[in-house]
Amino acid sequence: MQTPKFAGKLARDFGKRAGRSLAKQVHLPYVGPVGLWVILFVVVPLGFIIYFSFVTIGPFGKIIPTFTLKNYQTAMAAGYGRILLRSFLFAAVTNVLCLLIGYPLAYWIVKYGGKWETLLLLLIILPSWTNYLIRLYAVKLIIGSSGLINSALLNLGLISSPLHILYTPYAVILGLVHVWLPFMVLPIYASLKGLDPSLFEASADLGAAPFKTFSTVTLPLTRGGILAGTILVFIPALGEWLVPLMLGGGKVMLAGSLVQHFFIKLGNAPMGSTIATFLIAAILLVVYVCFKLGGRETLERVI
């Protein structure tokens, strides 16, 4: 006769222990607001994007809620894959250039910045506080036919006619590097700043040359900063549409430009959502690889 009561008590105890264990594992009191924010402003919008990629469009842009794979078939057959590959290439080139510029810059600030270190960091971050459009218009004025670069070269007699930089792929890459360079410098700076100086002393005591110390000690230990910078630069560069529009003059079509074209110009939300879904898949893959290779800790420290 005591069995039902005992079983009920055992079930309640097990439920309490399981709840406490779950709360400890996921830290529910701490991630609740953050989790709600992510669900409302990340998961839900992505869910709508994925949903619209599987529906069709009727006359006058009306959405017809009928499941179809036609959008994906059209995207694969219409040559949009080349635009996605071009976007990957532009994002990769931007990331490499930001790394080649940002790593020496961050290294110099850490090693030789001294009392000016904070000011130098502020000068790197300061352009990011300026309106995005104003910065792009500034770049446009600098590299235009009558801009600062061409005017200086013409006055010096180095060229006889203005260079055609604006509305070319080079202008787009220049704009991307200009916009996203600070986001490569900061994670690398955080990684370099966290290194123990005794490691360099030990390397020197063992007879390692400066370059050997850099390649065997500094560079491997700052891999997390490089990967975190890759996340912060490669991903937004992959989805850019305003830089190609303003500096490419509509002549350089990237994946972000294609999404903007379908959503805004054509009013074709299903096709725009389909291209955006391909971008989302690519972004998730890049984030996963960077996290697995060790970029997560540095990214959390920077953010």
Please count the structural domains in the chain: 1
Percent of the chain exceeding pLDDT 90 equals: 41
Is residue 24 a part of any domain in this protein? no
Report the pLDDT value the prediction gives residue 110, as an integer from 0 to 100. 92
Is 169 a member of any domain? yes
Residue range 39-43: average pLDDT? 84
Q: Is residue 42 part of a domain?
A: no
Sign of CA dihedral 187, 213, 117, 130: negative
DSSP 248: S
Range of the domain at 237: 80-302
Q: What is the CATH number of the domain that holds 168?
A: 1.10.3720.10
Of 194, 193, 234, 279, the residue nearest 99 (C-alpha): 234
What pLDDT band is residue 6 in, cutting at 50, 70 and 90? Answer: very low
The SS3 of residue 107 is helix
Is 27 part of a structural domain of the chain? Answer: no
Answer whether 169's CB lies under 8 Å from 86's CB. Answer: no
pLDDT of residue 270: 92
* Domain assignment present for 68: no
Calculate the alpha carbon distances from 80 to 17, 213, 235, 281 in Å: 53, 46, 19, 15
> What does the pLDDT average to over 248-260?
90
pLDDT digits (tens, 9 = 90+) for 143-199: 988 888 999 999 988 888 898 999 999 999 999 999 999 999 999 999 999 888 888
Distance of CA 93 to the CA centre of its chain: 13
* pLDDT tens per residue, range 58-88: 887 788 888 989 999 888 877 788 899 999 9
State pTM to two decimals.
Answer: 0.82
Check residue 249 and give its pLDDT: 87
* Lowest pLDDT segment from 6-20, 42-56, 161-175, 225-239: 6-20
How far from chain centre, in Å, is Cα 299?
Answer: 12
Helix (H) or strand (E) holding 63: strand 63-64
> What does the pLDDT read at residue 28?
47
Nearest-angstrom CA–CA distance, 153 and 149: 6
Is there a domain that residue 51 lies in? no
pLDDT level of residue 57 (50, 70, 90 thresholds): confident
CA–CA distance, 230 with 102 (Å, rounded to integer): 11
CA distance to 19, 38, 106, 297, per residue, from 24 (Å): 9, 20, 38, 21
Residues 48 and 183: their CA atoms lie apart, in Å, by 29
The string of pLDDT tens digits covering residues 276-299 is 999 999 888 888 888 888 766 666
The rounded distance, in Å, linking the Cα atoms of 98 and 112 is: 20
Residue at 285 is within a domain: yes
The answer to whether residue 114 is domain-embedded is yes
10 Å CB burial of residue 10 (0-12, 13-18, 19+) is exposed
Main-chain phi, psi angles of 64, to 5 degrees: -105, 110
